[in-house]
Structure 1
Amino acid sequence: MAYTIDPRPHVGRTALVTGSGRNLGKGIALAFAKAGANVVLNGRNDVDALKAVAAEAESYGVKAHWVLADVSNPDDVQRMVDEAVDRFGSIDISVQNVGLRPRQSFLEITPDDWKRVIETSLSSAFYLARCVLPGMRDKRWGRIIHMSGRDGFFTYANRAHNVTAKAGLHALAKAIAVEFGEYNITANTIAPGKMDTVRDEKNYPNYKALWAEAVKTMPLRRLGTDEDAAQCCLFLASPESWVTGQLIHLNGGESMY
């Protein structure tokens, strides 16, 4: 029996990707559109970016809907999900892709600083999962993906809040995987390494030069791309996937664990 790959395995499904106006989120959303899924796009304030991604997504013959929402606010997340369900009937694939990465020494982190990072990078994933899981459970199918980061597993100084949030994302995914697996719902985590994206120079000073040097020691000798992240998401969201509760280090072999 010949094995064939369906180029559009998600026709009729809906994928919601937070932080999808640029960088990895944009690439992931467009990949799901190419795979046949309607897409729900999210950003906090850049309407023009979301409109542009929506137009590109619809060029693949699917429908796109964008929602401005602060994912650190549970009421905003509920509103976003309600809008998406009203528009498309359900959310079948959920990708949490929003995070803050400030650099602060441990004793400089105030309670407000801590709360801001944890709410944006970790609590947002809980709020989103809490909103989409009932519908996935009813349909007995769903895919939840958390975009984490290497910080949570290889750890940096001056990033305690971010390190905690990134590691917590995987713990949350594992908890969801255990509790909802019987409903054919999977939950996994991707930890991107050094990706070729636009970075905040304040939090990543001189990163281009530093990463150019780092690439020389990577087995695959290049930075990651939006497409690399998107293909990893498509793999984890595949219709018959048997992968759940797992962490994938998407880093070109820079670290192997």
Structure 2
Amino acid sequence: MKRVIIVTGAGRGIGLAVARRFAATGDLLVLNDRQFGDEAAEIVEQAKSCGGDVAFVTGDVSRVEDVATLVTMAMDRHGRIDVLVNNAGVLLSKATVDTSAEDWARVIGINLTGTWNCLHAVLPGMIARRSGRIINVSSELGLIGFATYAAYCASKGGVIALTKAVAKEVAPHGVLVNSVAPGPIETDMLKYDTVEYNDETREQIPLRRFGQPDEIAAMVEFLAGPGGSYMVGQIVSPNGGTAI
């Protein structure tokens, strides 16, 4: 049976790589982002060639009404949701004393509250069917912290704690919740951040390179598939050795 999969933040970076992975397996995708680029047409063609389907829903996961629209689209189109990949996120690099209340609210709102909004919206259906996978994309920085990333680290640390708590609660109902916590991955988000994206940082990584989006997508695919059938509340961190 084809799986019905929601991926948030699927317009670029890790989310786009995840969408490509699932399109290649012929799944039924409902993709969210605030906007989509030319890659959207590529995903549609890839999915069609593999017997799958793709729907795009623009929206901001920090807004409950936008998440409701996303979930309703999936339910109306396919009648169920098998997998949720909570990937939408924003990065902020700013000294703590310079971080405004608005900065804090934006980062927490998208990264943590957005994850909660999506998870909260799909769980009733998954619990009723006693089946489902939720993969929350967090970050290694939620595990180790990083100077000038207080809001981001707090948001991702919250995603990690949320993952563990909900996983314990819903595993008896057949719903498996886990998190992928990437290290520095070569996406547009990282490239625009000169604090992390430079030769000095690269040389501090034991593998001496940044990760690629598809390396994270491969882990998401694993957790969503048969190999992840005994994974509950785990924080899997592909990070090149930056957090050991």
Q: Tell me, in whole angstroms, the C-alpha distance in 2 between the residues paired with 1:55 and 1:21.
A: 15
Q: Does 1:32 align with 2:19?
A: no
Q: Tell me, in whole angstroms, the C-alpha distance in 2 between the residues paired with 1:22 and 1:155.
A: 25
Aligned partner of 1:3 in structure 2 is none
Match of 2:162 among 159, 172, 175: 172
CA offsets 1:198-237 (integer angstroms, 9 cap, x no match): 235553357142344234x32xx54322221111112111
Match of 1:117 among 103, 107, 114: 107
Q: Tell me, in whole angstroms, the C-alpha distance in 2 between the residues paired with 1:252 and 1:58.
A: 34
Q: Tell me, in whole angstroms, the C-alpha distance in 2 between the residues paired with 1:113 and 1:212.
A: 27
Matched position secondary structure for 1:166: helix
Q: Give matches, 1:99-248, under 5 Å.
A: 99-199=89-189, 201-205=191-195, 207-215=197-205, 217-218=206-207, 221-239=208-226, 241-248=229-236
The CA RMSD over aligned residues, in Å, is 1.8
Matched position secondary structure for 1:117: helix
Aligned partner of 1:80 in structure 2 is 70
Moved more, 40-49 or 173-182: 40-49
Moved more, 237-246 or 152-161: 237-246
CA offsets 1:52-74 (integer angstroms, 9 cap, x no match): 33333333220111110111111
Q: Tell me, in whole angstroms, the C-alpha distance in 1 between the residues paired with 2:168 and 2:216.
A: 24
Matched position secondary structure for 1:58: helix
Q: Tell me, in whole angstroms, the C-alpha distance in 2 between the residues paired with 1:211 and 1:53.
A: 33
Distance 1:47 1:213, change over 3 A: closer
Q: Tell me, in whole angstroms, the C-alpha distance in 1 between the residues paired with 2:15 and 2:37.
A: 15
The code of the aligned residue for 2:129 comes to K
The Cα of 1:47 is off from its aligned counterpart by 5.2
Q: Tell me, in whole angstroms, the C-alpha distance in 2 between the residues paired with 1:185 and 1:154.
A: 28
Moved more, 52-61 or 38-47: 52-61
**Given the two structures, how large is their TM-score scaled by the length of structure 1?**
0.88
Contact 1:24 1:197 in 2 (8 A): yes
Structure 1 residue runs of 5 or longer lacking an equivalent are 1-10
**Given the two structures, how large is their TM-score scaled by the length of structure 2?**
0.92
Q: Tell me, in whole angstroms, the C-alpha distance in 2 between the residues paired with 1:225 and 1:170.
A: 22
Contact 2:190 2:197 in 1 (8 A): no
The code of the aligned residue for 2:165 comes to A
